[in-house]
Amino acid sequence: MTTEHKNRIVLPGSERSARSGSRVVGAPDPNEQIRISVLVRARKTMQNLASAKELTATSPHQRKYMSREQFAADYGANPDDIGKIEAFAHQHNLTVVEASSPRRTVVLSGTIAALSAAFSVYLANYEHPDGAFRGRTGPIYIPADLAGIVQGVFGFDNRPQARPHFRKHKAPKQPKQTAQPTSYTPLQVAQLYNFPSGVDGTGECIGILEFGGGYNANDLNTYFQQLGISTPSVTAMSVDGVTNQPAPGQNSPDTEVMLDIEVAGAVAPGASIVVYFSNFTEQGWVDAITTAVHDSVHKPSVLSISWGFAEGQQIWSTQAITAVNEAFQAAAAMGVTVCCAAGDDGSRDQVDDGLAHCDFPASSAFVLACGGTSLQSSGTSITSETVWNDGVNGGATGGGISDTIDLPTWQANAHVPPSVNPGGRIGRGVPDVAGDADPETGFQILADGQSGTVGGTSAVAPLWAGLVARINQKLGTAAGFLNPLLYALASNANALHDITTGSNDITGQIGGYSAGPGWDPCTGLGSPNGTALATALAGASAAGTP
């Protein structure tokens, strides 16, 4: 062991590998000030929640959710542990910016030189086609007396860690022969999916996570006025100093932000909407999710996440996956439903290594993963719904078998097939549900003053979030972690529209996955029949726990 690492141990799960296609171009300024987030262990092991009533009760009405205050008291960080992190920081001339027991997070600031020495890491500047970043390889080291206390350290490496899952409609060179291009307002889609009437999400709060761009209040007012409904309450929350910053331009992330707000706000206009803006880095992810889940002021009952990245150590470290999964598990314990887009690049998930990949965080066992369909209608009736797949020059719904998340108990009877990758692993199957995502049958939105039609699974996550808000209002309680309930309802033919036609292989080489009766790795259990689903959930039987 070198002198640099003397009396230090490797922080488990902190190892990072070089990102394929990147190259070192120099060293960062040692005097540059940065912030890192240190994740501290919980007072009680999170595994205690695996059989808790909030996850296993037979219906939402029988579940006993924890308040955010109760959860913080039972599962937040111990003040003594936080004190040890603060003492460590002072020993290394670092500043404690924030310490949150509910989020189990201590934010430290200092120079790159001081922070690198404190955690025994070497940083370099990299170039990559996706953009330049500051990165590290190998593990992070911590003092032996902090073993078990420190669960993760985020912020040294700021490689891009998120991409939005939306697709703008473009006139194809060769139009599909099976469907005529059309577009819908969110209200029309909600009608086609038979969302429950007499409720609009009043009393609920929908949290939306964004990792770039922003929204324009004037555009929102114009959009909702055109739909003939009042503009919902929209609040911007800054995470890690990131604010609502609209940035118009080709493929601007503003399109993602506006799509999320407009879809969720249109189908649940009575709900308040809180938008959490953060950096598209590993640190940004962990801080945004923990901030939203533990927001004791706005108390979101539903979260919508339309960003993600393929599983794999080049992007997601083990410590980040663990931190994000634990935050989602906390959400389940507190009755918060988390809806995540499954991706827009078919079974390869924009990774050109000849293998199939799932998108994270959609592959988390504690979220409702949302896949995509192509939706055709006549009047107020669905005439056809198939797997969304525009081919190699377009996009397709994400979905497949997770390489990192094990098969949850509640999916045990879903007949999840082996992965098409070598070894045939049977892990967490993605997605769980689906909805309209084909840009040719997409959503009419307004972004940066321009009207357009947008699809992608980015539209499906806020659509389901809005549906859950309406269901919560109708039930008079939070539906919470839906997955065990939905898989138990799989035999209820009325609650979900089973999608049986199509594939998410866009290259013709990976193999991908095909739709079929029952659950499949393209559209999950299917698209919603909202009213029937709400009725069924009122008396649902749980399928089990993760």
Catalytic residues: 256, 260, 458
* CA end-to-end distance (rounded Å), the chain: 40
- Whole-number Cα distances in Å, 82 to 103, 187, 261, 470: 11, 48, 36, 39
Place of tokens 């945004």: 288
For residue 468, what are the contacts with CB-CB under 8 A and spacing of at least 6? 301, 302, 337, 339, 479, 482
CA distance 455 to 167: 5
Instruction: At 49, list the tokens.
Output: 């929640």
The 8 Å CB, 24+ separation contacts for 322-326 are: 322/13, 322/151, 322/152, 323/39, 323/151, 323/152, 323/154, 323/286, 323/290, 324/285, 324/286, 324/289, 324/360, 324/361, 324/364, 325/364, 325/365, 325/366, 325/405, 326/42, 326/46
Residues counted in the chain: 546
Q: Are 409 and 338 in contact (CB under 8 A)?
A: no
- Whole-number Cα distances in Å, 98 to 37, 42, 62, 109: 9, 17, 37, 10
CA distance 57 to 64: 8
Of the CA atoms within 13 Å of residue 355, those in its CB half-sphere come to 15
Query: Residue 207: is it exposed, middle or buried by C-beta count within 10 angstroms (0-12/13-18/19+)?
Result: buried
**Helix, strand, or coil (residue 224):** helix
CA distance 190 to 378: 14
Residue 431, preceding peptide bond in cis (omega within 30° of 0): yes
φ, ψ dihedrals at 170, nearest 5°:
-130, 145
For residue 434, the surrounding DSSP H or E stretch is: strand 433-436
Amino acid sitting at position 258: M
- Whole-number Cα distances in Å, 320 to 16, 130, 179, 324, 544: 11, 21, 41, 6, 26
**Helix, strand, or coil (residue 243):** coil
Neighbours of 198 (CB within 10 A): 8
Name the DSSP class of 390.
-
